[in-house]
Amino acid sequence: MLVKWILCTVMDRRGFERGQRKWAGLLGEPGFRGQAGGWSRQRPGVAHVFAFWESRAFYDSFMARSHDRLASGQAGTFKDMQVRLFDHRFDVKTGFEPVFTDVDVVRVAHSRIHEERAEHFALMQEKIWNPAMAGSPGMVRGLFCEAPGHEFLALSMWQSAAERGKYRTERIERLSLRAQVEADVVALTGAIVELEPSWTV
């Protein structure tokens, strides 16, 4: 599965949201699996959108045919768009599906890793972080994916921000030490995204 992560700064919120609803036109596109998004809690006016495709081939075909028509509805409503593509590597918990009706919050962790530590980082994600998140109340599903250049994205979906808040500081510090995060990571950024139900396709 291909995961697309879009991040942008919105200047015209109403226009952007109106355009975002037009992405419902993705339904019926060959290989399209789902899309959702919302607003960053830490950075007002910053929108995150996550799209899921069965493969790169289906995605490339969509980009060549239908993308520009759907995107035209949001022209001029945002700036500083960043788009990144990742390949699904494994699930957090089991049986990931791009379904968002039962979650309110998505936690994004984006990492760039030292080349020689990339496999160690992925192994720690599987052996230490995944069980910790999977055992947290309110954590519904998630996935871990990879892009060229030793870049990784972990998305975890939570029933609510309050539940996500229980999985917090001292526990994360303890797990970070066990996983030797500092030795692996070149750069790490994160976000808590409040989902907008009207953006879900």
Whether the pTM exceeds 0.75: the reply is: yes
Which residues, 6 or more positions from 27, have their beta carbon under 8 angstroms from its beta carbon? 201
The stretch 87-94 carries a mean pLDDT of 91
pLDDT score, position 129: 87
Q: Say yes or no to pLDDT of 153 above 80.
A: yes
Quick: pLDDT tens for 156-194.
Answer: 999 876 666 666 655 777 877 887 878 888 999 999 999
The stretch 16-35 carries a mean pLDDT of 96
C-alpha dihedral over 153, 30, 73, 193, to 10 degrees?
-30
Contact between 156 and 193 under an 8 Å Cβ cutoff? The reply is no
Structure tokens at 70: 């759907």
Q: Say yes or no to pLDDT of 138 above 90.
A: no
pLDDT score, position 13: 96
The stretch 112-117 carries a mean pLDDT of 94
Going by their DSSP bridges, the two strands 151-158 and 105-113 should be labelled as antiparallel
The stretch 75-85 carries a mean pLDDT of 96
The stretch 109-127 carries a mean pLDDT of 93
Least confident window among 9-23, 28-42, 49-63, 90-104: 90-104
Contact between 102 and 58 under an 8 Å Cβ cutoff? The reply is no
Domains of the chain with CATH codes: 2-199 (3.30.70.100)
